[in-house]
């Protein structure tokens, strides 16, 4: 008998009727003989609503308290799903992250899973229960409730599958992984499969369909991940190791991210010490920097631009202002009007000219680029959000996405 880990996201458990539908599906699947571990997210927009309340009370709520607050969302949905299953005669028990020993480390609101106590889950499965686990949460070495970053229930599911040697099925409100977000570009194509590596880039670059840490864990432990519509009626997408066919495709997908801002430090002293001080102090605050560019020195001064998540902007600005005393009197500018577009594909390793094609298309459409970065399998550029739709359509057409 195989263990299967399934995960249902917020939209999939948004109403009691949807929870009842999922309970019926789980009952059928169990009757076919699978042992089921089910991870659920908070209902609908619950997490946003909880955060909204916190920020109405304070501009700077403590991350610890945000974790205590946000984790309540998932606790509601696990209990309701378990109740719905029991009601239709299907044995099920719900568990918080703490109860199944989901251990985490790191910063509150951005914690990482380090281990899970599989014995508790295996015992429950042996008792013929469907085990329902709260996504997105864990407990750290100080016995504090932690959360895994927005969208983190995917990570709970993949980490559980890794620990239990199971396959992982992610059920959501879209019927698979598309070449680009089908809500932004309806002509996007659904992929039968995508490599871990490409999905990791896409997820880190804003394709919100999967939490990037889930893909990292999936790749590390070789967990087969299947992403599909919550009704299970239509074939979805497999996330797996790359194969020859995948390597032939130059561009697999386009990720669009409107959640970043760009900070420019003007007149920074031209010294590696100043640059390293800037990035070290941001790293100490757990701020993730993505794109970086530097101008050539004039009078021994440079301008340094970089992008970071909008949520971290206030902390970054405060950190940079505090550093002026030690580095010099630079001027800080912020640009909140950026959209980051990234083309991703493992075929880029062997085929040249992708950047040229991307920039030509943007030039033909009069779209200016604010900052660029590349890696072996991606090219990202930040543009004005007003140009976003035009740019997505033009790039998607150029690369046949």
Residues that bind ligand ASP (CB under 6 A): 9-10, 41-42, 47, 73, 135-136, 150-153
The answer to the question of residue 180 lying near ligand ADP (CB under 6 A) is: yes
In the complex, which residue's CB is closest to ligand ADP?
A: 9
Dist. CA 313–CA 306, nearest whole Å: 11
Stretch that binds ligand ADP, among 27-35, 178-186, 215-223, 273-281 (CB under 6 A): 178-186
Q: Which does 136 bind (CB under 5 to 8 A by kind): ligand ADP, ligand ASP, Mg ion, none?
A: ligand ASP
Task: Tell me if 210 sits within 8 A of 255, measured CB to CB.
Answer: no
- The nearer residue to Mg ion, 73 or 151, going by C-beta atoms, is 151
Dist. CA 228–CA 225, nearest whole Å: 10
Of these, 67, 181, 201, 257, which contacts ligand ADP (CB under 6 A)?
181
Question: Which residue carries 């560019």 as its tokens?
Answer: 293
- Stretch 370-389 residues interacting with ligand ADP (CB under 6 A): none
Task: Tell me if 40 sits within 8 A of 247, measured CB to CB.
Answer: no
Query: Residue 319 is inside which H or E element, if any?
Result: helix 313-327
What is the phi-psi region of residue 22: left when phi exceeds 0, alpha when psi lies from -120 to 50, beta otherwise?
alpha
Query: Residue 323 is inside which H or E element, if any?
Result: helix 313-327
Of these, 127, 183, 248, 318, which contacts ligand ADP (CB under 6 A)?
183
Of these, 172, 193, 252, 264, which contacts ligand ADP (CB under 6 A)?
172
Please count the other Cβ atoms lying within 10 Å of the Cβ belonging to residue 193. Answer: 19
Dist. CA 204–CA 389, nearest whole Å: 21
Roughly how many angstroms between the first and final C-alpha of the chain, as a whole number? 39
The answer to the question of residue 135 lying near ligand ADP (CB under 6 A) is: no
In the complex, which residue's CB is closest to ligand ASP?
A: 153
- The nearer residue to ligand ADP, 124 or 181, going by C-beta atoms, is 181
Dist. CA 149–CA 151, nearest whole Å: 6
Report which DSSP code applies to 90: -
In the complex, which residue's CB is closest to Mg ion?
A: 151
- The nearer residue to ligand ASP, 70 or 254, going by C-beta atoms, is 70
CB of 300 to Mg ion, least distance (A): 47
Q: Which does 178 bind (CB under 5 to 8 A by kind): ligand ASP, ligand ADP, Mg ion, none?
A: ligand ADP
- Stretch 40-59 residues interacting with ligand ADP (CB under 6 A): 41
Stretch that binds Mg ion, among 132-140, 150-158, 194-202, 316-324 (CB under 5 A): 150-158
The answer to the question of residue 152 lying near Mg ion (CB under 5 A) is: no
The answer to the question of residue 302 lying near ligand ADP (CB under 6 A) is: no
The residue count for binding ligand ADP (CB under 6 A) is 19
The answer to the question of residue 151 lying near Mg ion (CB under 5 A) is: yes
Of these, 151, 218, 236, 345, which contacts ligand ADP (CB under 6 A)?
151
Dist. CA 172–CA 163, nearest whole Å: 22
Strand locations in 89-248, DSSP E? 92-95, 103-105, 112-115, 130-134, 137-140, 145-147, 167-172, 193-195, 225-229, 237-240
Dist. CA 161–CA 266, nearest whole Å: 48
Task: Tell me if 346 sits within 8 A of 243, measured CB to CB.
Answer: no
* Site for ligand ADP, rule CB under 6 A: 9-12, 41, 151, 172-174, 177-178, 180-183, 207-209, 253
* Site for Mg ion, rule CB under 5 A: 9, 151
């Amino acid at each position: 008998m195989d263990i299967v880990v399934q995960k249902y996201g917020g939209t999939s458990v948004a109403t009691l009727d949807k929870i009842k539908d999922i309970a019926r599906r789980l009952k059928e699947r169990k009757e076919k003989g699978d042992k089921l571990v089910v991870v659920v997210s908070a209902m609908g927009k619950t997490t946003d609503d909880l955060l909204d309340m916190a920020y109405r009370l304070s501009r700077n709520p403590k991350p610890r308290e945000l974790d205590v607050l946000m984790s309540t969302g998932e606790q509601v949905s696990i209990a309701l799903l378990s109740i719905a299953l029991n009601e239709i005669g299907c044995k099920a028990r719900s568990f918080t992250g703490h109860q199944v020993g989901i251990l985490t480390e790191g910063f509150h609101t951005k914690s990482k899973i380090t281990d899970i106590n599989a014995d508790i889950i295996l015992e429950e499965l042996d008792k013929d229960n469907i085990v329902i686990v709260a996504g997105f949460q864990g407990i750290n070495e100080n016995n504090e409730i932690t959360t895994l970053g927005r969208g983190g229930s995917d990570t709970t599911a993949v980490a559980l599958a890794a620990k239990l040697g199971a396959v992982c099925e992610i059920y959501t409100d879209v019927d698979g992984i598309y070449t680009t977000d089908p809500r932004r570009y309806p002509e996007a194509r659904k992929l039968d499969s995508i490599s871990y590596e490409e999905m990791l880039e896409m997820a880190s670059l804003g394709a919100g369909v999967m939490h990037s840490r889930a893909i990292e864990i999936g790749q590390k432990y070789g967990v087969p991940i299947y992403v599909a519509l919550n009704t299970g009626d239509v074939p979805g997408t497999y996330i797996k190791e790359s194969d020859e066919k995948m390597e032939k495709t130059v561009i697999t997908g386009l990720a669009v991210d409107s959640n970043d801002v760009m900070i420019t430090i003007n007149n920074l002293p031209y010294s590696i010490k100043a640059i390293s001080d800037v990035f070290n102090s941001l790293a100490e605050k757990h701020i993730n920097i993505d794109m970086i560019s530097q101008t050539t020195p004039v009078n021994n001064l440079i301008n340094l631009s970089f992008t970071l998540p909008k949520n971290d902007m206030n902390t970054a600005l405060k950190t940079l202002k505090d550093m002026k005393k030690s580095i010099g009197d630079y001027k800080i500018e912020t640009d909140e009007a950026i959209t980051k577009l990234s083309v991703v594909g493992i075929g880029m390793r062997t085929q040249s000219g992708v950047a040229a094609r991307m920039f030509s298309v943007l030039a033909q459409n009069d779209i200016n680029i604010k900052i660029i970065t590349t890696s072996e399998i991606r090219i990202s550029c930040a543009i004005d959000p007003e140009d976003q739709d035009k740019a997505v359509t033009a790039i998607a057409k150029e690369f046949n996405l």
